[in-house]
Structure 1
């Protein structure tokens, strides 16, 4: 039985260039909805009307754009009160932005660059790939309890980590360089299709580079360096601008 399981996993892994996915979208969406509710209990919902309106405005336009790609999504966007300069998205259309991020964002276009990037991780099934890879490494028993009432803290942390969320939630765990680069490109297109100026992505990441205190060499990091990220966005910009020019802008 173990040999058959091993062969099945090996074939599945080798047959998928971007990594295997063993979980259904419905399963992940249900699990994400449960975890998203728990996260909202951990952090106060922001009472900043301007910030909330900005998050709703940007997220709703992106949700409308992705209607065909995510037809079954139960979209929900929220601004959470926390100083972390972060945001995340989960399967099923769950989007959270932390108030700390809005301190670095100067326009809807810049926020759209971040939200587009995060929802790109969902469309590219990166969480599914991460959880599936963990299943291969640790065996089916590792994830049996995930998404059930029997889920232990350790397994919940594993599930959150698949979405790039640390157990403290405000701490974002890095995706692989490959996942980040894929999401940079797709996120730029998503923002542009939604009528947001994709050039704002470069403006935003330049600000992030200036604000960053990290001196970790790029080869020691799983995230692309800011220069590499900006190069990726610059390369993808001509295509993104074509989508932007063809988009229906308010």
Structure 2
């Protein structure tokens, strides 16, 4: 076999393995958007991974389980959990409040929510907190984490094959910015839109999401250029939320003040 043919063999093998990964992976249709995707693991495995991570975080943290702040966080999360509908029907929703100055909150696969007290002065009110939690919960119900795992597996396999074929090229940065980052921004934008609808259905004014991100934009926190970030810039995020706002307001106007509660 000629050398030039051997040179391209790793790329061919990588293509075969990519095809196998793709067709053997689980398929998922987002019930909110109808977008079809492939995920790296089953919902059961996602939930187990989420539970393990949740337990590890709590074991290393100072949790708050009583008091007005905890009741506020629990109440907002409960209303949002009910608003997830079919997407979150099989989730075992649970929320914990951690005493920490860190400005952060996240929702793990399977419905385990963690909120840090440091974010509460930033959100300022329940509707803004619903903006943050709705967005985080949308990541979980949309199974973005499992999609990212599969995408990274694809990228790593492709990079390995191409790098072995074209060893003189620097491909790592190009793949990071040209392949992985756009997928990540897609997930961020999808979570923003779905989270907006969650908060509207839960009875929180979706217009507060705009005010929240405007406050974030005005805090002076440094942001990397958008093309180097997995998150949309605050300005882009606000524009996308404004475009989605008419539909969200329709849901908000239909929502009842007495929202059904999910057991958290």
TM-score interval, normalised by the smaller of the two chains: 0.7 to 0.9
Counterparts in 2 of 1:136 and 1:111: CA distance versus 1, 3 Å: same
2:123 is the alignment partner of 1:105: yes
Report the Cα offset of residue 94 of structure 1: 0.8
Q: What runs of 5+ residues in structure 2 fail to find an aligned partner?
A: 1-12, 29-34, 158-182, 259-264
Partner of 1:159: none
SS in 2 for 1:224: coil
Q: What TM-score does the superposition give when structure 2 sets the normalisation length?
A: 0.74
2:252 is the alignment partner of 1:240: no
2:231 is the alignment partner of 1:194: no
Match for residue 25 of structure 1 among 39, 43, 53:
43
- Between the two proteins, the alignment pairs up a number of residues equal to 214
SS in 2 for 1:103: helix
SS in 2 for 1:68: helix
For residues 1-250 of structure 1, the aligned pairs below 5 Å read 5-11=17-23, 19-46=37-64, 49-138=67-156, 176-250=184-258
Instruction: Give the root-mean-square deviation of aligned CA atoms.
Output: 2.4
SS in 1 for 2:63: coil
After TM superposition, where is structure 1 displaced by more than 4 Å over at least 4 residues in a row? 1-4, 10-13, 15-19
Work out which structure has the larger RCO, using CA pairs closer than 8 Å and 6 or more positions apart in sequence: 2
Q: Quick check: which has more Rg, 1 or 2?
A: 2
Identify which range, 228-237 or 212-221, moves more after superposition. Answer: 212-221
Q: What TM-score does the superposition give when structure 1 sets the normalisation length?
A: 0.78
By percentage of residues, which structure has more helix?
2
Report the Cα offset of residue 37 of structure 1: 0.6
